[in-house]
Amino acid sequence: MKRIGVLTSGGDAPGMNAAIRAVTRTAISKGYEVMGIRRGYNGLVNIEGKETKDEMDSKVVRLGVRDVSAIIQRGGTILFTARCNEFKEWESVLEAKKRCDELNLTGMVVIGGDGSFRGAADLSKAGVPCIGIPGTIDNDISCTDYTIGYDTALNTAMEMVDKIRDTAQSHDRCSVIEVMGRDAGWIALNVGVAVGATAIITPEMKYNMKDIINRIEASKADKKENFIIVVSEGVGDSEGIARTIETMTGIESRATILGHVQRGGSPTVRDRVNASEMGYYAVDLLDQGKSNRVVALKKGRVVDYDILEALKMKKTFDKNLYKIAHIISK
Ligand code: ADP
Ligand code: F6P
């Protein structure tokens, strides 16, 4: 019987389970068996050569139709995930290829970010056809307009900032809120717009504290009494920014780093639907004999690209939305 594998790698993201479910059920409907590989690429390599056969076997789990029941609404990943540094070495890729042969895997679906796709490109090169599905809250994968988990993270962060706004309002404070995104400002920009932040600070756009202070003071002069500043983690120093605002304006300020709360929770409709569509599409590509491709969402349509081409693409930051935010937050 034909058999494929599925794994999640890098930071987890809400909607990964929906993708695992779609991959599993699509593959079964096409006559494949599905093996879930646990803890990313770690599931395919013997870490430091110390693991017994039983330990290696326990890293692989057969996925039937019912094994993926009632996971579409769950955050995290039932397959666990990992950042496997060994996989950057070609020897580990060859070891993984050997392991895939032992498991009779003729293809693999990798759900993760850019690093995970590099691993998938290597594994494809070694002879295991791989298809990538973009899964990360950061939305920092260039070839796609959207990554699984991003929409849920946006909504979670927005709700958290709304709660912080209640207390900032009660105390006439300025709240500086740091959101995730690694080096990308997508979460900061969109959450900033959604919460009506007075300023949005992202790595893509130059900023200076003097301008931000001026904006706060102009709003204050226009009767605004509390302020939200959204900072992307790629800029960081939310504590320092809050201190500067307090010193320069006299407005009591607090910093909050939202952190991993943004990675959890039940996925939104958008994340569940896109993950389902992408999961289906990925298996369809494998079934057509394709390898080394990544599934992407472009202008609302699911498309696919060569992984290495996709990794070279550049994503342009939405400067127009940034400009709009600047104009409408007063
Ligand atoms: P995150 O951004 O959350 O770290 P990624 O999807 O970028 O997620 O995953 C990074 C992981 O991808 C690495 O920890 C490693 O396990 C895996 N990986 C495999 N091959 C490579 C590679 N050649 N370069 C970088 N990462 C790789
Ligand atoms: O890539 C997802 C992400 O949550 C980033 O936003 C953040 O920079 C990083 O992962 C945090 O990683 P860790 O799980 O190692 O704390």
pLDDT for residue 205 is more than 90: yes
| Ligand 2 atom index nearest CA of 138 | 6
Best residue among 77, 114, 116 to mutate for probing ligand 1's pocket (most ligand atoms within 8 Å of CB) is 116
| Ligand 1 atom index nearest CA of 114 | 7
- Quick check: CB of 11 below 6 Å from ligand 2? yes
Ligand nearest to the CA of 90: 1
Task: For residues 235 and 110, state if they share a domain.
Answer: no
The domain that holds 232 is classified in CATH as 3.40.50.460
- Quick check: CB of 148 below 6 Å from ligand 2? no
Task: For residues 75 and 90, state if they share a domain.
Answer: yes
Task: For residues 24 and 102, state if they share a domain.
Answer: yes
Query: What mean pLDDT is predicted for residues 19-32?
Result: 98
Task: For residues 70 and 30, state if they share a domain.
Answer: yes
Q: What pLDDT is recorded for position 298? A: 97
Q: Is residue 289 part of a domain?
A: yes
Compute the mean pLDDT over every residue in the chain, rounded to the nearest whole number. 97
Tokens of 258: 């939202």
Q: Is residue 71 part of a domain?
A: yes
- Quick check: CB of 99 below 6 Å from ligand 2? no
Query: What mean pLDDT is predicted for residues 88-111?
Result: 98
Q: Is residue 38 part of a domain?
A: yes
Q: What pLDDT is recorded for position 267? A: 98
Task: For residues 169 and 118, state if they share a domain.
Answer: no
Task: For residues 107 and 16, state if they share a domain.
Answer: yes
pTM confidence score: 0.97
Q: How confident is the model at residue 98 (pLDDT cuts 50, 70, 90)?
A: very high
CA dihedral 194, 175, 13, 51 (to 10 degrees): 170
Query: What mean pLDDT is predicted for residues 168-195?
Result: 98
Q: Does residue 135 sit in helix, strand or coil? A: strand
Q: What pLDDT is recorded for position 47? A: 85
Task: For residues 118 and 229, state if they share a domain.
Answer: no
CA of 288 from ligand 1 middle (Å) equals: 26
| Ligand 2 atom index nearest CA of 263 | 4
pLDDT > 90 fraction of the chain, expressed in percent and rounded: 98
Please name which of 224, 237, 264, 218 lies closest in space to residue 177, comparing C-alpha atoms: 237
Task: For residues 137 and 274, state if they share a domain.
Answer: yes
| Ligand 1 atom index nearest CA of 138 | 2
Q: Which amino acid is at 40?
A: G
Q: Annotated catalytic, 138? A: yes
Task: For residues 252 and 275, state if they share a domain.
Answer: no
Q: Is residue 322 part of a domain?
A: no
Backbone φ, ψ for residue 290 (5° rounding): -80, 155
Question: What domain count does the chain have?
Answer: 2
Q: Is residue 78 part of a domain?
A: yes
Chosen domain end from 201, 229, 263: 263
Sequence-ordered list of residues with C-beta below 8 angstroms from that of 45, at least 6 positions apart, any chain:
84, 86, 87, 92, 95, 96, 99
pLDDT for residue 330 is more than 90: no
Q: What pLDDT is recorded for position 223? A: 96
Domain of 202 in residue numbering reads as 153-263
pLDDT digit string, tens, across residues 109-134: 999 999 999 999 999 999 999 999 99
Sequence-ordered list of residues with C-beta below 8 angstroms from that of 50, at least 6 positions apart, any chain:
none
Q: What pLDDT is recorded for position 48? A: 85
- Do residues 4 and 25 make contact, with C-beta atoms less than 8 angstroms apart? no
- Quick check: CB of 113 below 6 Å from ligand 1? yes
pLDDT digit string, tens, across residues 131-170: 999 999 999 999 999 999 999 999 999 999 999 999 999 9
pLDDT digit string, tens, across residues 253-309: 999 999 999 999 999 999 999 999 999 999 999 999 999 999 999 999 999 999 999
Q: Is residue 224 part of a domain?
A: yes
Catalytic residue among 114, 138, 271, 304: 138
| Ligand 2 atom index nearest CA of 187 | 6
Lowest mean pLDDT among 43-52, 263-272, 311-320: 43-52
- Quick check: CB of 203 below 6 Å from ligand 2? no
CA of 225 from ligand 2 middle (Å) equals: 33
Q: Is residue 194 part of a domain?
A: yes
- Quick check: CB of 114 below 6 Å from ligand 1? yes
Ligand nearest to the CA of 138: 2
Residues paired with residue 32 on neighbouring β-strands, in sequence order: 2
- Do residues 30 and 18 make contact, with C-beta atoms less than 8 angstroms apart? no
Q: Does residue 323 sit in helix, strand or coil? A: helix
Task: For residues 275 and 134, state if they share a domain.
Answer: yes
CA of 88 from ligand 1 middle (Å) equals: 8
Task: For residues 193 and 167, state if they share a domain.
Answer: yes
- Quick check: CB of 180 below 6 Å from ligand 2? yes
CA of 188 from ligand 1 middle (Å) equals: 23
Query: What mean pLDDT is predicted for residues 227-249?
Result: 98
- Quick check: CB of 185 below 6 Å from ligand 2? no
231's enclosing H/E stretch is strand 227-232
Residue nearest to atom 19 of ligand 1 (CA): 119
Half-sphere exposure of 108 toward its Cβ, with a 13 Å CA cutoff?
Answer: 37
Residues paired with residue 135 on neighbouring β-strands, in sequence order: 148
Backbone φ, ψ for residue 147 (5° rounding): -120, 150
Task: For residues 22 and 144, state if they share a domain.
Answer: yes
The domain that holds 141 is classified in CATH as 3.40.50.450
Q: Is residue 323 part of a domain?
A: no
